[in-house]
Amino acid sequence: MLLFSVLASTLLGLLAGFLPGVGTEPERGAKTSSSHTPDVDLLPSPSASNCSQLTLKLEFSSEVVEHEYIVGFTGYFSAKARSHYISSALRSSGDGELEWRIVSRENPASDFPSDFELVHIRRASPGSLLTLENHPYIKRVTPQRKVFRSLKYFPSPEPALPCNTTPGNQKWQSWQSSRPFRRSSLSLGSGFWHATGRHSSRRLLRAIPRHVAQILQADVLWQMGHTGSGVKVAVFDTGLSEKHPHFKNVKERTNWTNEKTLDDGLGHGTFVAGVIASMRECQGFAPDSELHIFRVFTNNQVSYTSWFLDAFNYAILKKIDVLNLSIGGPDFMDHPFVDKVWELTANKVIMVSAIGNDGPLYGTLNNPADQMDVIGVGGIDFEDNIARFSSRGMTTWELPGGYGRVKPDIVTYGSGVRGSGMKEGCRSLSGTSVASPVVAGAVTLLASTVLNRELVNPASMKQALIASARRLPGVNMFEQGHGKLDLIRAYQILNSYRPQASLSPSYIDLTECPYMWPYCSQPIYYGGMPTIVNVTILNGMGVTGRIVDKPIWQPYLPQNGDHIDVAISYSPVLWPWAGYLAVSISVAKKAASWEGIAQGHVMVTVASPAENDSEVGGELTSTVKLPIKVKIVPTPPRSKRVLWDQYHNLRYPPGYFPRDNLRMKNDPLDWNGDHIHTNFRDMYQHLRSMGYFVEVLGAPITCFDASQYGTLLMVDSEEEYFPEEITKLRRDIDNGLSLIVFSDWYNTSVMRKVKFYDENTRQWWMPDTGGANIPALNDLISVWGMAFSDGLYEGDFTLADHDMYYASGCSIARFPEDGIVIAKNLKDQGLEVLKQETAVVEGVPILGLYQTPSDGGGRIALYGDSNCIDDSHRQKDCFWLLDALLQYTSYSMTPPSLSHSHSRVAPPTGAERPLPQRLEGNHLYRYSKVLEAHLGDPKPRPLPACPHLSWAKPQPLNETAPSNLWKHQKLLSVDLDKVALPNVKSYRPQVRPLSPGESGAWDIPGGIMPGRYNQEVGQTIPVFAFLGAMVVLSFFVVQLTKVKSKPKRRKPRIKRPTYLQQQQQQQQQTAGKNPTV
């Protein structure tokens, strides 16, 4: 084997000297078109180069269309029936001034029954819409949304190894309308916010002279005769040209837009289709699959929710098997869209979607990729590094009371991937919208390998992908999910698959770093907030299922499993194909001073109706085990424990909550969750490195024991406060709890300014609060004579020898006279926003420290800006300031750099200007957990009960727990060691011959076709190495055989007399024996 390795390495090294990397030679044959819109910058001309190596930036937004509503029905009805139901409902409203009409939809789905109708309603009162929703056959009424998408292509910035002959020929392209684009975010048109681009260009790796399908070993399955045949795959994008030379099995092209064309005017849809099903040049995974092209975006990158809903319904009617969706955004509360995705997967459509290009920030997952029933795909480069642009988990649906799920599901190549050009030839792009069709193509190819197609469904396919994925070292689960796509291992699993349930993640190990970050970053202890792990149940047995009885908690007694308590909540129904299992872990009282490792496991049994069971009411069942391993430490002292207030943080969706930094006009929405494990991740890591234990409060302030904590940390709070919370906090601070508040801007004039008026829909969008809810915070701290102002400031300054940047912060308007206040000279950003004027304000109070007068009372620290500890748009961190404030609040140690600062001023009294008031007519009550609608002003709701966990009754096991919980995730009855690949027969996908005048050259000298390269060159390398090894091995075997078979040399003996020899021979002949040699 050593000899074989040496020979193979030598041959590979020699051949590498003759085969250049991708991009080292000018491409020949790729062409582009630039005839679609005048706003589009042209690609390099074919004469300059045919190789386009670009980084794709894909952004989405949506806005509500005025007067148009999507009326969803409880079932599928004919157009006549739908019209009758709507008419009868609106007539019963008794609104005589109501004007309405059904908007006609001319597309391929209009001839079939539908479950929704698009209605134009003018002068609609809330009562009219409520009457419409109350109709027995109407499920929901939601506004119509207009969706925008922006495709921006940027060349690689590195000068080395240019793709084109002349690097200067590469220009960036931008296809966009007048708005920033991210699905379901609120774009702001020509108002205060505008798009300036989200990500800089990124380096593309160019050292792999093969296409992604061959890199992932699709050619192995091709040689077995599997090429995607019989699998219907849908591409929802910008269309495809009718006579594109890369595709031979385009079954149907449909147009769902208001443009009268089926062709792709932008190139993105063609690229995606090529990665999945191109048959030549830049080969796709499944060239023989049935390709269904859904044109859902116009050449101006505009779409509507109703277009998608109609197209989704048509995909269900056509019994599509795999669907690649090239859109995504933060709005997981867009009900018609999310509901339709559920319906698609319930009909066995395997949906693959990009996880988003908003990395490296955490909490940036896009919908629908963040749904349990969808395969969410992240991106890596060809060196197996997580792509910087790839969005990170966790999901934010569950906040503030719960904890997010693991996403993405898997990662695959998304940097420098080659796909089909708009008219012909190939190009390279990067982005998770590139990684998504890689997985969609792999899924299509895998589905074609399964003989019993009934076993292939969204759950079983995801189970196979995540169970076979290769884990990347040094990367946590919120970056890589279950790991890198492994096509061959997934094939092995699918072809010995038995319907079953599985878990994601398949185990909980709070000691395993870095994969189990953030769980592994902090041990648990008695009295701490329960650690919540949100596990996804995948049910490959059927679209619907249930958990039998209750999950069982079984601690291992030899491994101290009785030192932890476990509470379990779960989905009452698993639909479609999935559900959740929330595991809350706490330390038992007897382990308050104990340190060590505790282990146990949870047993869950899932049942699903047996579809083909002859016995009525038959069920399929599957039992899965969830191992749990935690590290317990003694309860830390109060001074080291910090409590993060999550309950009072609000984010988009559902409301319009603006960013904290007004300079970030291209990203106006606050949608990352404001959690210590999302956009405050770096702050959390810093606090842990300083020895603090950070816990999360997902309930009202009335629901925690303040005597256990040194400091309550409130950052960027948008929510209101219950009166009971205000009373309890005052009492807690009097008894020794300290408070740190990082605030943000709030100015009603600026809020009115950053609202936007959409010319298309003639509708205003108004923020529901500022960067923070200053009026609510002032109510909370007013008892100590403190308040924030509605001033809005920004600027650079130095504090305690640290460079600082104040980004859209407020000032302190009122503070106790015996407190410490620090002031700086800053620019009046509010004046700049309102009047486009610049002014510097001297002595703006930004930081205050105060020791409460009660005996044993706590301390309070206020700072007017949170951007310096927020990962979203942080320019200069102020973690040193947070350390200093915690030293003050936890240990009563006033930092000399602050108390003796030259910037210290007399505390403001608040007499100069009135305190900020709540914006009249705001709709915060619609999204608030505290407020409810009321005649006149909204009023607080009744204080909710504190969460109560029902701890599972343990069933102890007196046996040893497994020492290593991480194994390759094996599904039941699947052993990869026993699943061998079938004998490979000589086969390759059929390749359409070149038409006259077409160039078949690739970027390998000599014009080697990709298919020929992989068949003749790529496979020749191991053949040569093997033959050489066999020749050398045969030589050694022959020599060894000769040595063993050679007669041994006899020792010389004394010559006997002749008469004795004759006598001996006669005796031997008499005995019938031959002489011995």
Give the catalytic positions in this structure. 237, 268, 433
Crossing angle between the packed helical segments 268-277 and 432-449, to the nearest 10 degrees? 30
379: closest CA among 309, 437, 295, 299? 437
Which ranges constitute the DSSP H helices of 929-1057? 1010-1012, 1020-1045
Report d(CA 427, CA 819) in Å as an integer. Answer: 63
What is the C-alpha to C-alpha distance for residues 494 and 489, in angstroms, rounded to an integer? Answer: 9
What phi and psi, each to the nearest 5 degrees, are found at residue 380? Answer: -130, 165
948: amino acid identity, one letter = H
3-state SS, residue 515: coil
Per DSSP, which regions of 238-307 are E strands?
250-255, 290-295, 302-304
Residue with tokens 């995974």: 285
The number of residues in the chain equals 1077
Report the C-alpha gap between 222 and 224 in whole angstroms: 5
Q: What b/e string do you get for 731-747 counting C-beta neighbours within 10 Å, with b at 16 or more? A: ebbbebbbbbbbbbbbb
SS3 539: strand
Q: Report strand pairing: 693-697 vs 641-645.
A: parallel
The answer for 384, left when phi > 0, alpha when psi is -120 to 50, beta otherwise, is: left
Please choose, from the candidates 416, 590, 429, 626, the residue with its C-alpha nearest in 3D space to the C-alpha of residue 508.
Answer: 626
Tokens of 771: 């960067």
823 — phi, psi (to 5°)?
-125, 150
The SS3 assignment for 779 reads helix
311 in Cβ contact with 337 (< 8 Å) = no
Count Cα atoms within 13 angstroms, Cβ side, for 871. Answer: 24
Helix, strand and coil in the chain, % to nearest 5: 25, 25, 50
What 3-state class would DSSP assign to 175?
strand
SS3 228: coil
d(CA 710, CA 687): 14
Distance CA 392, CA 388 (A): 10
**What is the signed CA dihedral for 281, 282, 284, 289, rounded to 10 degrees?**
-40
Both tokens assigned to 411: 């990662």
Among candidates 354, 338, 362, 327, which has minimal Cα distance to 673? 362
End-to-end alpha carbon distance in the chain:
39
| 308, burial (CB in 10 Å: exposed 0-12, middle 13-18, buried 19+) | buried
Task: Give the DSSP H or E segment for 317.
Answer: helix 305-317
Contact between residue 732 and residue 724 where contact means Cβ atoms under 8 Å apart: no
The β-bridge partners of 862 are 741, 848
The H-assigned helical ranges of 224-304 are 268-277
Q: Does residue 519 contact residue 510 with C-beta atoms inside 8 Å?
A: yes
Q: What is the DSSP letter of 200?
A: -
